[in-house]
Amino acid sequence: MGIGDMVGRWQRNAWLLIVAGLAVAVLSGAPVAADGSGDVVASCTASPTTVEPGETVTLDASDSDAVFVEFDVDGDGEYDRGDETDFVIETTYAEPGTYEPVARSDDGDTDPCGTVVVTESPSAALSISPRPATAGEPTTFDASSSSDPDGRIVTYRWDFDRDPAVDMTTEVASVDHTYDEPGSVTPTLTVEDDDGATDTISRDLSVERPSSASCTASPTTVEPGETVTLDASDSNATFVEFDVDGDGEYDRGDETDFVIETTYAEPGTYEPVARADNDPNATDPCGTVTVETNEPPTAEFSISPRPGTADEAVGFDASASSDPDGEIVEYRWDGDGDGTVDRTVSTPETDFVYDDAGSYVPTLTVVDDDNATAATSRDLRIEPATSVVCRADPTTIAVGESVTLDAVARGDGDPEATDPCGEVTVEAANDPPEAALTVSPPSPTAGATITFDGSGSTDPDGRVVEYRWDFEADGTVDRTTSGATATTTRSPAGAYLGAVTVVDDDGATATARREYGVVARPEPTARCAIEVRTVRPGETVFVSASASTNASQYALDTDGDGEYEITDRTDSTFEVSYEEPGTYTPVVRARGNESSDTVECPTVTVQEPSPEPTTEEDEDDDGIPLLPILGAGGLAGLGGLVYYFYPRGGGGGRGPDRSPNPDLKSQATRGRYETGVFALPTTSGTISVPVGFQPDVITVAATNGARTDPTVDRTTGWSRGIVHRTADGLVHQSLTVADDARSRDQSTAAISDDAAIELVRHEDDGPPSRVPVAVSETTTTGFEAEVTVPGDDPLAGDTRVLFTAISLEPGIDAEVGFFETPTEPGTATVDLGVDADHVALSAATAVDATDALWTTDRGVAVSRGHAVVDDEGRPSQVTGGVSAWPRAGDAAAATADDRRAIGLLYQDGVDVAGRTTARVTDLGETLRLRYDRVYSGPHKLGSTACHPISYLALSTDRMCPAVGSCRLPAVGAETTVDVGFRPTLIELTVVPAAPGETSTDRTAYPFGWSRGTAIARDGAIRQYVLHHAVATDPVPTGIDAPGDATDATAGTTGQVASDGGLHDDRPDAGSRLDAPTFDGVDIHPAGIPGPGEPAVAAEPTAHDDGRAGLWLRRNADGAIVGREELRVTATGAAGFTLATRTVDTEAAAPDDERSTVLYRAWPALDDLDGESTAAPESWRGDVADAAGSDDTSTTNDASE
């Protein structure tokens, strides 16, 4: 037998033994476990173990190792459920208590299932007081009668209106709740005991309206015993009570009809009161009842003449009538005594005419203000009429004029009867009027409006009532008006004679004539500018003819072949593109006034397309190839070009040096700048300002004295603002300060988020008015502005507005907003909304809210500051501030600081009472300011008021500007400002204070700073400036009279400062800067500098002020003796050069009195895109050679 057979046989025998054993066990009656073993085990659990009576409990013995189990449900030793083969049962307990259920297996093995506790539920009880409840008054909910038989109540859940929500959860049994409105509610209480059992109870509750009284008394003035009605029918009450005489005792109670009648026996004043539902808080006075005893009037009258005459008036006078306790209000006359009232009047005098002679008994009845009456009568005899009546006509004549005397005989005639014919007045002969005529402008352009003004005409003995206008003095009246002015137009050019004939109120006339010459309309002058002149095929080129003059239509010959592809355009900006490489010279044609002019534009170079993109890494360490950054697919929209990022160096004060944005665009759509001026219209409306692109940020500034007409203004003030184009629309901010030269309580400040500027205009009557300007739309070529000009203010228009327009590059973020100054020194943090590297801050005193205009008799001040950070987060900052004490002749102050960004001054007369100053300590997503001074005192609007600060925050990338300050260059010298890059747009502010100092001067000019801009383009520099100052000292030699628009020296056009209206009783005050009258010079000279060469300032044209800063100069006596003008003379690869020239200045101030120049310079984007700029040293050398040996330099570095 093999091994396998032996194993198989052993297995068969083993199974036989097992079966035999089982059989023996069964036959012997021994229990056998389900798994075949001999151990039978019971195992049981109960769930849940804490229940309420009747709640199901599951007993689970499924883990028992048995054939069947039995259950002793209540643990009393008797197994109530047996032979359970599914091992799981459900049971309930009817009575509270503790139960110990047990499971038993088929062999008698037992296992307790656990302790089951049957708890007893709590009982909820609720009482409400008062019931019904009253709306508006507390209602008490009391659940203290609730109980729990086997524990305690731990939570009360209150639902006062039985909605799905629990209104209150408490651990106390009593709460109060007040219902706001009357109505029916069902409050519900749910109690929970310490075993988690609950019970709920609800109550119906009516909420009633609270009691209220409403009472009126009528009438309120009576005599003793007269009935007065007290009406409380509008009360909300069950019943009312009345305190009739107002003595605190309620005389009439439980009145359910709410209306009673009462009387007062004694004269006096009574204050009755009604009370609702006996509620002391529900009372209402019915009004004051006055009880008085009236004394009747006395009637008296006189008659004149007495006797009277038939057909002639007889006068009756009742002035002697009286009323001892009032006044007589009515006179009733019975003229003939027949018992019928013939006339009722309110005055004591009247008259009657009797037709027939005879005897009459006229009667008078008078009525007083208490309606009491008195009557009296008089006897009257009427005699027959006289035999003659005479009248004179006319009664007023001139010497020699006729008078008619008309006499009529009546009756039988009486030789002694006479009658005066009346008084005749003979006047002296009429004096004729005197005519006067002025024509303005004296030399109008053909077709332009001409104003004829006859307001100087007078009449010595009357007034002028009519003006007859003969515009060409040809004897024909062209127009007749009652007003003193008329307008017309004349064509063609030539000499004319106009006339006005005035007519006075006596019909007399006089004529005045005036010669005037009409000049031919100026011919147009074409100008052309192209900002980006090197492009790729298909890229957009912007061609601007906006500098053209006297033109209304424009045409463009894009390639200079003599054919104009674009014609008859009113828009002066064109967008063109070229498909083929090469050079093109466009030609602009400007048409206007029935003539035209053409000019060649700068040449446009269209470059060959660049090679296809390559994935090979450039071996040059100076650049970083774009392809590895974006990947091959990332260059799909870049025209097959390979772009490199070149790291740039920067000068002091410039922001972080960043690489160009990977989301590159063509040069025609990159960041761009423009600056210039426009004039406000004299009437409300919309104006369009072309800049050659769609701007994202627009800054504007205006001052009352910088105008386009020869008028001067009594208001000296500034308004500056920002407009930001966002995806949601245009966001505006403006800040305005102004001082009235004629009033000590008319200093004004305003801040607004609805307008870009708001010029303040002071008037003789009423509060100051405002001229708001809001940008309504930006276009692809510029922007449009809505101007609102007060209709009754002739000086509101013609103000020059200086603007800068900036188009931001892709990826550059901007945000504008307001925040407030703190009340104490310390650090303040402002969330800017962008990761900013540049912020501009503007603030003013005397204002504490947006869209508000504040007028004060205290000082007003304004602060303007800038800050930028470098790559390491170090801020550079600068600020300038000026202030004025109300009215010309008082003090002004100024401050300049290159260590802070906010500098507000608070004046107290000639002294500075305090200041609020802050420096930027960190700039990024938040702006952190350290306020080292915060003024709180009487010289601000509210001693602890907070001033709003307007901000513009920019994440500028490579467009980050440089900011800083320098001293105003000495006359004849130059100052070079190193900013670390070639600037395109330069903004300058001249502050009348030395750098880092604060100056005050009783004779200084309020807000005497200037604001200017310069832009370098096409090898030339255009410059603009605004300035306004009010002088209060003697009139300097050469100024004809205070307020005249003439310069300090005869024969020179330009600036003027008047005396504030304090001399010769002149009404106006102010200063003006005219557009210079230099000969026209093309701002695009033929020789355009190449890359790295400096731009040179051109002579100004009619569209270019030729200077970017201004400072008025005074002699030792304080009189204005001239001015200093600041110019940007050149720009180069690392900065710009400033120079000052003097105009008619007798003596220059010492160097330590020089003003401060604050600057913000924006980088030339084309330079940054192309090759590296020349080193600053070589640029400085070039400028020094050009400027001469007097050149000085300044370098602003963030580490200083």
275-284 residue pLDDT tens = 988 888 889 9
pLDDT at position 1101, please? 46
Q: For all residues of the chain together, what is the average pLDDT?
A: 78
Residue 177 pLDDT > 50, yes or no? Answer: yes
Residues in the chain, overall count: 1200
Rounded CA-CA distance 715/1068 in Å is 8
Rounded CA-CA distance 801/704 in Å is 10
Residue 621 pLDDT > 80, yes or no? Answer: no
Asked if 702 contacts 718 with a C-beta cutoff of 8 angstroms, the reply is yes
Rounded CA-CA distance 915/882 in Å is 11
Extended strands (E) in 318-463: 328-334, 343-345, 349-353, 358-360, 363-368, 373-377, 380-383, 388-393, 396-398, 404-409, 425-427, 438-440, 449-453
Res. 613 pLDDT band, cuts 50 70 90: very low
305-354 residue pLDDT tens = 999 988 899 999 999 999 998 999 999 999 999 999 999 999 999 999 99
pLDDT at position 1159, please? 95
794-846 residue pLDDT tens = 667 778 899 999 998 887 889 998 888 888 888 899 999 899 999 999 988 86
Which is more confidently placed, 1142 or 1088?
Answer: 1142
Res. 387 pLDDT band, cuts 50 70 90: low
Q: Are strands 875-884 and 404-409 parallel, antiparallel or unpaired?
A: unpaired
Res. 411 pLDDT band, cuts 50 70 90: low
Residue 934 makes CB contacts below 8 A (sequence gap 6+) with: 821, 822, 823, 824, 825, 916
pLDDT at position 662, please? 33
223-251 residue pLDDT tens = 898 999 999 988 888 889 999 998 988 88
Res. 1170 pLDDT band, cuts 50 70 90: very low
Residue located via tokens 């330590």: 1152
308-322 residue pLDDT tens = 988 899 999 999 999
Which is more confidently placed, 472 or 429?
Answer: 472
Taking residues 162-170, what's their average pLDDT? 87
Taking residues 97-112, what's their average pLDDT? 91
Rounded CA-CA distance 912/895 in Å is 11
Rounded CA-CA distance 497/512 in Å is 10
Rounded CA-CA distance 233/247 in Å is 22
Res. 743 pLDDT band, cuts 50 70 90: low
- Say which range, 557-566, 987-996, 1066-1075, has the weakest mean pLDDT: 1066-1075
pLDDT at position 1089, please? 34
Asked if 1133 contacts 1048 with a C-beta cutoff of 8 angstroms, the reply is no
Residue 386 makes CB contacts below 8 A (sequence gap 6+) with: 309, 312, 410, 411, 414, 417, 418, 419
pLDDT at position 223, please? 86
Give me the percent of the chain exceeding a pLDDT of 90.
38
pLDDT at position 760, please? 83
1174-1178 own/partner pairs: CB under 8 Å, 24+ apart = 1174/1092, 1174/1132, 1174/1133, 1174/1134, 1175/1133, 1175/1134, 1176/651, 1176/978, 1176/980, 1176/1133, 1176/1134, 1176/1135, 1178/1133
Tokens representing residue 280 in the block: 């002391």
Scored b (16 or more CB within 10 A) or e, 1036-1054 reads bebbeebbebbbbeeeeeb
Highest mean pLDDT among 4-13, 665-674, 1004-1013: 1004-1013
Residue 1177 pLDDT > 60, yes or no? Answer: no
* Backbone φ and ψ of 628, nearest 5°: -65, -25
pLDDT at position 891, please? 67
682-698 residue pLDDT tens = 888 899 999 989 999 99
Q: How far is CA 361 from CA 19, 73, 374, 376, 382, in A?
A: 161, 128, 16, 10, 11
Res. 36 pLDDT band, cuts 50 70 90: very low
Res. 742 pLDDT band, cuts 50 70 90: low
Tokens representing residue 1190 in the block: 């007097």
Kindly write down the DSSP assignment for every residue of 705-772, as one continuous string: EEESSS---SEEEEEEEEEEEETTEEEEEEEEEEEETT-TT-EEEEEESS-SEEEEE--SSSSPEEEE
pLDDT at position 442, please? 80
Residue located via tokens 């190449």: 1090
Task: Determine if the pTM surpasses 0.85.
Answer: no
pLDDT at position 455, please? 95
pLDDT at position 345, please? 95
In the chain the first and final C-alpha atoms are separated, in Å, by 112
927-970 residue pLDDT tens = 999 998 888 776 565 556 788 899 999 988 778 899 999 988 88
835-875 residue pLDDT tens = 999 999 998 886 765 556 667 777 788 899 999 998 777 89
Residue 770 pLDDT > 90, yes or no? Answer: no
Structural domains of the chain ordered from first start: 45-118 (2.60.40), 127-208 (2.60.40.10), 216-291 (2.60.40), 302-383 (2.60.40.10), 388-427 (no CATH), 438-518 (2.60.40.10), 529-542+553-606 (2.60.40.10), 611-645 (no CATH), 964-1195 (no CATH)
pLDDT at position 848, please? 65
Asked if 317 contacts 306 with a C-beta cutoff of 8 angstroms, the reply is no
Residue 287 pLDDT > 80, yes or no? Answer: yes
Residue 126 pLDDT > 60, yes or no? Answer: yes
876-894 residue pLDDT tens = 999 988 887 776 556 678 8
